Amino acid sequence: GNGRIKLPKIGWLGYRKSQEVLGEAKNVTISESCGKWFVAVQTEREVETPLHRSTSVVGLDWGVVRLYTLSNGEYREQCQPLKRCLPKLAKLQRRMAQKIKFSHNWKKAKAGIARLHQRIANIRKEFLHRSSNEISKNHAVVFVEDLQVRKMCKSSKGTKDQPGKQVAQKSGLNRAILDGSPFELRRQLQYKTEWRGGLFYAVPPQNTSRTCPVVWGGCGQVSADNRKTQAKFVCLKCGLSANADFISAVNIREAGLASLACSQPSHAVSASWQEPTEGIHRLGVEPVGIPGL
């Protein structure tokens, strides 16, 4: 519904009330994006220590084709909003290139490109929120790979003396990785799992996709030849065959459980160990179809 808010030196303003503002308001931040204005209200309140309603433990493997694959077999395909909008984006960029720089028509074309980029970001954000909500609600403990996205997306151009190889293919792969936003999915999963009283933990990614999982009837062999293709895992020793992302998710789960059994990991964070003191609410555009944000 609609609401009103009183701002210092401005007075009363109407806004789209996307959610209830709980607690005592401490400060307000106003921002603008592509001609749309937003107000973020930071509040302070006491909350009870959350207790997760589930007891499920899963490992999660992020991929380029699949957004994620869970150790229980569930998976979700990538949304790829940038890839779907690339033809329209190229058309708008060509149109802007034909205008006189800083002219009125050039500014209009530039604003059109900004609106398209905003739409791409909104599609991606909604898709990631839907996915992270589903996982954090249904699983109390979530293990992920501690991926270094910046290193994964490093350019392969090389130098003038030592030029890189397969630069175009690597550029396309980098675009696909960034279009999937793996770190944003991890960030959302972490705070939502903690909010609900669960545990979020990142494990080292070494050999998660090369190890034949013993827990799933495998032999435990570690070899790069076990995964000769991106999608298929075939153990050379025992012949175990399955989807490579699923095998990786199973190994991530087992590695996380082993770490928890040995000692309490320093980079695992549980909501029950933290003092929840403040909450930030962003108001302006209602997140239609994204429950529980």
pLDDT tens column, 86-133: 999 999 999 999 999 999 999 999 999 999 999 999 999 999 999 999
Q: Which residues span the domain enclosing 131?
A: 48-275
Q: Identify whether 61 is a catalytic site residue.
A: yes
Q: pLDDT band for position 167 (50/70/90)?
A: confident
DSSP string across 244-287: HHHHHHHHHHHHHHHHHHHS--TT-EEGGGS---EEEEEESS--
pLDDT at 207 over 80: yes
Same-domain check for residues 168 and 55: yes
- Rounded CA-CA distance 64/73 in Å is 17
Quote the crossing angle between the two packed helices 182-195 and 167-180, to the nearest 10°.
20
pLDDT at 273: 35
* 160 lies in the same domain as 239: yes
From 43-47, 91-95, 276-280, the region with the lowest mean pLDDT: 276-280
Tell me the average pLDDT across 152-172: 74
pLDDT of 230 reads 86
**CA-to-CA distance for 273 and 270, rounded, in angstroms?**
6
φ, ψ (nearest 5 deg) of residue 29: -120, 130
Using the predicted structure, report yes or no on whether residue 291 has a pLDDT greater than 50: no
Q: Judge contact between 40 and 210, C-beta under 8 A.
A: no
How far is Cα 148 from Cα 112, in angstroms, rounded to an integer?
Answer: 33
Q: What CA–CA distance (Å, rounded) separates 232 from 38?
A: 46
Q: Based on the fold, state whether residues 62 and 179 are members of the same structural domain.
A: yes
Q: Are residues 281 and 265 in the same domain?
A: no
Catalytic residue selected from 20, 48, 126, 145: 145
Q: In Å, what is the CA distance from 97 to each residue of 64, 88, 94, 105, 250?
A: 32, 14, 5, 11, 49
Asked if 15 and 150 sit in the same domain, the reply is no
In the sheet that holds 141-145, the strands lie side by side as 75-77, 66-70, 57-62, 141-145, 199-203, 269-270
- Mean pLDDT over residues 139-168, rounded? 81
Q: What is the arithmetic mean of pLDDT over 14-26?
A: 90
Average pLDDT, the chain: 86
As a whole number, mean pLDDT of residues 174-192 equals 94
Question: Are 4 and 143 part of one and the same domain?
Answer: no
pLDDT at position 155 is 74
Q: Which residue has the higher pLDDT, 263 or 155?
A: 155
Write down the pLDDT at residue 289: 33
Tell me, what's the pLDDT at 293? 33
- Mean local confidence (pLDDT), 154-165: 69
The pTM of the full predicted model, rounded to 2 decimals, is: 0.82
Closest CA to 39 of 67, 71, 73, 13: 13
- pLDDT over 90, % of the chain: 66
pLDDT of residue 277: 37
Secondary element (H or E) of residue 69: strand 66-70
Same domain for 81 and 136, yes or no, is yes
For the residues 146-153, what does the mean pLDDT come to? Answer: 86
Annotated active-site residue in 179, 194, 245, 254: 245
What is the H or E stretch that residue 11 is in? strand 11-16
Residue 164 above 80 pLDDT?
no
Q: How many domains does the chain have?
A: 2
pLDDT of residue 280: 38
Element (H, E) at 229: none
Question: By the 8 A CB rule, do 83 and 180 touch?
Answer: no
Q: State whether 282 and 267 are in the same domain.
A: no
Please tell me the predicted confidence (pLDDT) of residue 35.
86
Answer yes or no: do 156 and 185 share one domain. Answer: yes
Active-site entry in 32, 61, 74, 146? 61
DSSP type of residue 220: -
Examine the domain organization and report whether 143 and 155 are in the same domain.
yes
Note whether 193 and 163 are same-domain residues. Answer: yes
Let me know whether 220 and 231 are in one domain: yes
Confidence of residue 233 (pLDDT cuts 50, 70, 90): very high
